[in-house]
C-alpha cells in the first residue's frame, strides 16, 4: 500500500468519438499528495483542473474516460465501481454551489445522518448528538438540523456542505471552487474554517480555484494547468515570488490590486484553446509575450527549476524567474461634476418585500453623472442588486423617486408606454451569468438583430457585425450559439446586446464575478473603453473592492438596505470611515497565509 494519500501518474482524460477518433481533454498529469498536505490546482476555465480533480473520485461526466495510474487511499481506481466505496469514507467532494449538494426537500439533520454508520442512524439520541457535533465543528448551532436548505444563507449552506462532506471522516477532501459564489467576508470565514478543520484532522486537501490569491493563502503547493496540461508545479512561496512559466506570471499580473488603481489591467489576449489544438507545441504559445520558434517546435517537457518546483517552458533557462508586473499605476480619476450632467438620481428609495422582517432598501440616495462610473458594493442582502433592479424597472420601489434622463417617477409602472420605451433605451442591464441571459438555441447574430430591431435600429448583418466589433468580437461570432463561446465571449455578447439601443447608462450586476481573472481584466478594460468612447455612464454592482478600485470613480457602500458610506473610490478605499467598509477591505483575498489567521 502506498504511503501517499493520492498518487496519480500519467493521467489522461479523453472523449471517445463515434468515428473512432478520440478527443483528448487532459494528458500527462502527475500528482502526489502526502497525508495532511494541501495542493491548489489553478487555471482558467477549460484548463482541465476540474476534470483532473474529478478523476480522483471517478466522477467524470458521462462519456469521458480517465486513463493512467490513479491511486487514492491505497486503492487503485481503474473504474467507477472501485471508487464508489471510497466516496465520503476515504475521499470526499465539496462543490462550488452547496445548494446543488443538498436535497431541498429534506432537513439538514437528515442529510448529515445519511453519511453516518448504520448503528448511529438507527439510534435517535446518538444520531441527534452526532448531527449536533458535526454542525458545531463547522460553526453552526444544533437548531440548524431542523431547517431546510432554502432557510439558510449562502454561507450557512456552504458550512452544511462542508459538514456533509466530512461526516464520514475522509482522508482527502477535494474542494471545487468552494467560495466562488460567496461574498468576500463569507468567503474568508469559509476558507478559515476549511483550513482549521484540515489542520485539526491532518487531512489532505485538494482545492480547485481560478483565484491565485486564495490558492496562496490556503495551500502549501500549487499546480498550474492550461489547455489540459501541467505548466508549473511547486511550493506556494516559490511560485508566488518567482513564477517560472509565463502563464503563471500572466495570471498573477491580471489580479486586480485593491491598494492602487492601474492604467489598465495586464491580461494575455485570447482564451484557452482545446487540448488537441495545441498538442504539438507549448499550449500557451499563441498568447505568450515571450514566444519564439522554439516554443512551437514541440511540446516542452517539465523541467526542474528548484526543490519540488518544475515548469514546462521551452525558454526556462534564458528567461529565468519572471518579474511580477502589475502594470503602470494611474492617478485617481478626476471627479465628474454632477451639475447639468446628472443622468440618474435616486432619492429616498425604499423597497419592502412581503413577509420580510426588514426592508431591502431603506431611504437610499444615489447619483450617477453622464460619463461617470459608479460602484455599488456590499454583501448579499445589502440591497445593491435590488437597487439596480429598481433602476431598470425589474423591481417596483415602495418609496422614493427615480430621476432618469430628465424624467422623475416613483415607479416604472407610472410611465406611459411611449415614455417607458424611451427610457428602456436609456438604461440597459448586463447580468452576472451571460449563459442564462442568452437564448441557448438562437445564434448570436439572431439575438443581436432582435435587440436592434426592438429599438427601431437597422438590424442587418453589417449592423450586427458593427455591434460585435464594438465589444472586441469578429463578425464570424454571429453564426455561433452561446454554448460554442467561452465565458468571456458570452459576456461580450451580453454587453453587445445591452448596447443595441445605444443606452446612456449601463447597469452591470456582478458582471465579472464569475469570470476567470484574465478574462475579468479583459472585460473591465472593455467597459472602460466603452465609457470613454460612447460618453456612457456605468453603475457597477459588485462585492469585490479590488474590482471597484480599478473600475469606478465613486462608490456607495450598502449594508442592510442602507448606504453607510459614499465618496470618491480612492477616498473610501484609502480612508474608510465606517467599520463595515473596513471589514470588506480586510476580507479581500491576499497572497498571504496570514490573511486567514
Does the pLDDT value for residue 349 go beyond 60?
A: yes
pLDDT grade for 436, boundaries at 50, 70 and 90 = confident
Query: Options 3.30.9.10, 3.80.10.10, 2.60.40.10, 3.40.50.300; which CATH number does 339-439+504-591 get?
Result: 3.40.50.300
For 164-179, write each residue's pLDDT tens digit.
Answer: 999 999 999 999 888 8
Give whole-number Cα distances, 257 to 252, 262, 516, in Å.
10, 8, 15
The torsion angles phi and psi of 348, rounded to 5 degrees, stand at 55, 35
Select the more confidently predicted residue: 374 or 516: 374
> Which of 225, 189, 221 has its CA nearest to residue 204?
221
Give whole-number Cα distances, 86 to 93, 168, 332, in Å.
11, 10, 54
For 538-547, write each residue's pLDDT tens digit.
Answer: 999 998 899 9
Positive/negative CA dihedral, 546, 551, 553, 556: negative
Q: What is the dihedral of CA 105, 107, 110, 114, to 10 degrees?
A: 50
Reading the block at residue 305, the C-alpha cell is: 527549476
What count of Cα atoms within 13 Å lies in the side-chain half-sphere of residue 439? 12
Reading the block at residue 567, the C-alpha cell is: 465618496
Q: Which residues contact 272 (CB under 8 A, 6 or more apart)?
A: 43, 44, 45, 46, 47, 226, 227, 486
pLDDT grade for 34, boundaries at 50, 70 and 90 = very high
Does the pLDDT value for residue 394 go beyond 60?
A: yes
> Which of 94, 228, 58, 249 has its CA nearest to residue 174?
94
Cβ atoms within 10 Å, residue 441: 9
Which whole number is the average pLDDT over 519-542?
A: 91
The torsion angles phi and psi of 46, rounded to 5 degrees, stand at 90, 5
pLDDT grade for 1, boundaries at 50, 70 and 90 = very low
Give whole-number Cα distances, 294 to 5, 290, 330, 583, in Å.
38, 11, 36, 49
For CATH 3.40.50.300, list the domain ranges present in the chain: 6-219, 339-439+504-591
Reading the block at residue 537, the C-alpha cell is: 455612464
Q: Hey, what CATH topology would domain 6-219 get? A: Rossmann fold (3.40.50)
pLDDT grade for 206, boundaries at 50, 70 and 90 = very high
Which whole number is the average pLDDT over 482-486?
A: 85
Q: So what's the pLDDT on residue 327?
A: 66
Q: So what's the pLDDT on residue 101?
A: 77
Q: So what's the pLDDT on residue 334?
A: 67
Tell me which residue has cell 459564489.
181
Reading the block at residue 39, the C-alpha cell is: 495542493
Q: Which residues contact 35 (CB under 8 A, 6 or more apart)?
A: 3, 5, 171, 202, 204
Which whole number is the average pLDDT over 475-492?
A: 89
Indicate the DSSP class of residue 61. P
Q: In three state form, how does the secondary structure of 65-124 look?
A: EEEEEEEECCEECCCHHHHHHHECCCEEEECCCHHHHCCCCCCHHHHHHCCCCHHHHHCH
Q: What is the mean pLDDT of the chain?
A: 90
Q: How far apart are the first and last CA of the chain?
A: 36
**Nearest-angstrom CA–CA distance, 181 and 155:** 10
**Nearest-angstrom CA–CA distance, 47 and 245:** 15
**Nearest-angstrom CA–CA distance, 426 and 421:** 9
Contact 508, 434 (CB under 8 A): no
Amino acid at each position: 500500500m502506498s504511503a501517499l494519500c493520492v498518487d496519480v501518474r500519467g493521467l489522461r482524460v479523453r472523449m471517445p468519438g463515434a468515428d473512432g477518433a478520440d478527443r483528448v481533454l487532459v494528458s500527462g498529469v502527475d500528482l502526489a499528495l502526502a497525508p495532511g498536505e494541501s495542493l491548489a490546482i489553478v487555471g482558467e476555465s477549460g484548463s482541465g483542473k476540474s476534470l483532473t480533480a474529478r478523476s480522483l473520485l471517478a466522477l467524470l461526466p458521462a462519456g469521458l474516460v480517465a486513463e493512467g495510474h490513479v491511486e487514492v487511499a491505497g486503492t487503485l481506481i481503474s473504474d467507477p465501481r472501485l471508487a464508489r466505496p471510497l466516496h465520503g469514507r476515504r475521499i470526499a467532494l465539496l462543490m462550488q454551489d452547496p445548494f446543488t449538494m443538498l436535497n431541498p426537500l429534506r432537513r439538514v439533520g437528515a442529510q448529515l445522518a445519511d453519511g453516518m454508520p448504520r448503528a448511529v442512524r438507527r439510534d435517535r439520541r446518538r444520531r441527534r448528538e452526532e448531527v449536533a457535533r458535526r454542525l458545531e465543528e463547522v460553526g453552526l448551532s444544533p437548531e440548524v438540523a431542523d431547517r431546510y436548505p432554502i432557510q439558510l444563507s449562502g454561507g450557512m449552506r456552504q458550512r452544511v456542505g462542508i459538514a456533509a462532506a466530512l461526516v464520514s471522516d475522509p482522508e482527502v477532501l477535494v474542494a471545487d471552487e468552494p467560495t466562488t459564489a460567496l461574498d468576500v467576508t463569507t468567503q474568508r470565514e469559509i476558507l478559515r474554517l476549511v483550513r482549521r478543520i484540515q489542520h485539526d484532522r491532518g487531512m489532505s486537501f485538494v482545492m480547485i480555484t481560478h483565484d491565485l490569491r486564495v490558492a496562496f493563502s490556503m495551500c502549501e503547493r500549487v499546480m498550474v494547468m492550461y489547455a489540459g496540461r501541467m505548466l508549473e508545479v511547486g511550493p506556494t512561496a516559490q511560485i508566488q515570488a518567482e513564477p517560472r512559466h509565463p502563464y503563471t506570471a500572466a495570471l498573477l499580473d491580471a489580479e486586480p490590486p485593491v491598494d492602487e488603481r492601474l492604467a489598465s489591467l495586464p491580461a494575455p489576449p485570447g482564451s484557452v484553446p482545446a487540448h488537441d489544438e495545441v498538442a504539438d507545441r507549448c499550449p500557451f504559445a499563441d498568447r505568450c509575450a515571450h514566444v519564439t520558434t522554439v516554443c512551437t517546435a514541440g511540446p516542452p517537457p517539465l523541467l526542474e527549476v528548484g526543490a519540488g518546483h518544475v515548469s514546462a517552458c521551452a525558454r526556462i533557462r534564458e528567461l529565468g524567474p519572471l518579474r511580477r508586473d502589475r502594470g503602470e499605476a494611474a492617478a485617481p480619476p478626476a471627479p465628474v461634476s454632477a451639475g447639468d450632467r446628472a443622468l440618474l438620481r435616486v432619492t429616498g428609495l425604499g423597497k419592502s418585500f412581503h413577509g420580510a422582517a426588514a426592508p431591502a432598501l431603506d431611504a437610499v440616495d444615489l447619483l450617477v453623472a453622464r460619463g461617470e462610473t459608479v460602484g455599488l458594493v456590499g454583501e448579499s442582502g445589502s440591497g445593491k442588486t435590488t437597487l439596480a433592479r429598481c433602476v431598470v424597472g425589474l423591481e417596483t420601489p415602495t418609496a422614493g423617486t427615480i430621476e432618469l434622463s430628465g424624467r422623475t417617477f416613483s415607479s416604472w409602472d407610472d410611465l406611459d408606454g411611449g415614455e417607458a420605451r424611451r427610457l428602456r433605451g436609456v438604461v440597459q442591464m448586463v447580468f452576472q451569468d451571460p449563459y442564462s441571459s442568452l437564448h441557448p438555441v438562437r445564434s448570436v447574430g439572431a439575438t443581436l438583430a432582435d435587440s436592434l430591431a426592438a429599438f427601431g435600429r437597422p438590424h442587418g448583418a453589417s449592423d450586427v457585425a458593427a455591434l460585435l466589433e464594438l465589444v472586441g468580437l469578429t463578425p464570424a461570432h454571429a453564426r455561433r450559439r452561446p454554448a460554442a463561446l467561452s465565458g468571456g465571449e458570452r459576456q461580450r455578447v451580453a454587453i453587445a446586446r445591452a448596447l443595441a439601443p445605444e443606452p446612456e447608462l449601463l447597469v452591470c450586476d456582478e458582471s465579472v464575478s464569475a469570470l476567470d481573472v484574465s478574462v475579468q481584466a479583459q472585460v473591465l478594460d472593455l467597459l472602460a473603453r466603452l465609457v470613454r468612447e460612447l460618453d456612457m455612464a456605468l453603475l457597477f454592482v459588485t462585492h469585490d473592492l479590488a474590482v471597484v478600485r480599478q473600475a469606478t470613480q465613486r462608490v456607495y457602500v450598502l449594508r442592510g438596505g442602507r448606504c453607510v458610506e459614499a465618496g470618491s473610490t480612492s477616498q473610501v478605499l484609502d480612508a474608510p470611515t465606517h467599520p463595515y467598509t473596513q471589514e470588506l477591505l480586510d476580507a479581500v483575498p491576499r497572497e498571504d497565509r496570514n490573511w486567514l489567521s
